């Protein structure tokens, strides 16, 4: 297991498996990632722990207002269910955005191993969609190269921004009328239109992805 595999698995699972531990014990950087993940999970658990005052259950279950409270609670649950249904509809996951996430999880490492394009060739390939100069105004381009994606060819870009790493899939031939998004396995993807084609942005932090998407949106 290498560092990329370890961190991807840690983000996806939210915990460390027995197979991952030997790598972490030999890698200080992944050890730091593990410590940060454990700290986050601990804070999350503490935030969800709410102590129940003694005798509250008995007081709620008895008294003249009990029936009214049960009615209001039932109405609240029904309203919450309706609200969640509406939210789920608004936040439905798009297949193209999901495909971008699947690429990062399954094919990104292989794409990087295939090697990067020469800069001049990359500039020509992206000239009509997303110039390298525009990308470099946002962050540091660590890798760029063509890759098979969604039945065609996309350009895989690894971009380092101040908040961390994001993956871009530039699709010159895929046109969008509206933006698309998906959340899966702790990764978030936003696909936005370019002057020519579109670009999918994938990362572990939704705010960072949305910030990059806003900067690239046509």
Domain C-terminal end among 66, 90, 114? 90
Token pair listed for 129:
């969609």
pLDDT digits (tens, 9 = 90+) for 89-127: 344 578 999 999 999 999 999 899 888 999 999 999 998
Whether residues 84 and 26 share a domain: the answer is no
CA 147 to chain centre: 20
Whether residues 136 and 73 share a domain: the answer is no
Whether residues 105 and 212 share a domain: the answer is yes
pLDDT of residue 78: 54
Taking 50 as the threshold, does the pLDDT of residue 69 lie above it? yes
Q: What is the pTM of this model?
A: 0.59
Whether residues 41 and 61 share a domain: the answer is no
pLDDT digits (tens, 9 = 90+) for 148-197: 998 899 999 999 999 889 999 999 999 888 889 999 988 999 999 998 99
Taking 90 as the threshold, does the pLDDT of residue 12 lie above it? no
Domain C-terminal end among 90, 116, 140? 90
Token pair listed for 101:
């996430």
pLDDT of residue 8: 72
Whether residues 42 and 66 share a domain: the answer is no
Rounded to 5 degrees, what angle do the CA atoms 66, 67, 73 make? 90
Whether residues 73 and 174 share a domain: the answer is no
């Amino acid at each position: 297991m290498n560092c990329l595999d370890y961190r991807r698995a840690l983000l996806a699972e939210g915990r460390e498996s027995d197979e991952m531990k030997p790598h972490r014990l030999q890698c200080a950087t992944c050890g730091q990632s593990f410590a940060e993940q454990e700290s986050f999970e601990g804070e999350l658990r503490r935030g969800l722990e709410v102590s129940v005052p003694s005798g509250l259950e008995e007081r709620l279950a008895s008294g003249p207002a009990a029936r009214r409270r049960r009615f209001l609670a039932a109405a609240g649950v029904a309203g919450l269910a309706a609200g969640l249904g509406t939210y789920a509809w608004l936040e439905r996951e798009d297949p193209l955005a999901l495909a971008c996430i699947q690429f990062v999880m399954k094919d990104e490492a292989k794409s990087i191993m295939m090697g990067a394009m020469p800069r001049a060739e990359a500039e020509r390939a992206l000239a009509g969609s997303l110039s390298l100069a525009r990308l470099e105004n946002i962050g540091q381009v660590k890798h760029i190269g063509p890759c098979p994606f969604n039945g065609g060819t996309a350009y895989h870009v690894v971009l380092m921004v101040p908040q961390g790493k994001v993956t871009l899939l530039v699709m010159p031939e895929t046109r969008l009328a509206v933006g698309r998004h998906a959340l899966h396995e702790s990764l978030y993807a936003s696909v936005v239109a370019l002057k020519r084609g579109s670009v999918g942005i994938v990362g572990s932090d939704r705010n960072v992805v949305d910030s990059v998407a806003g900067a690239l949106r046509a």
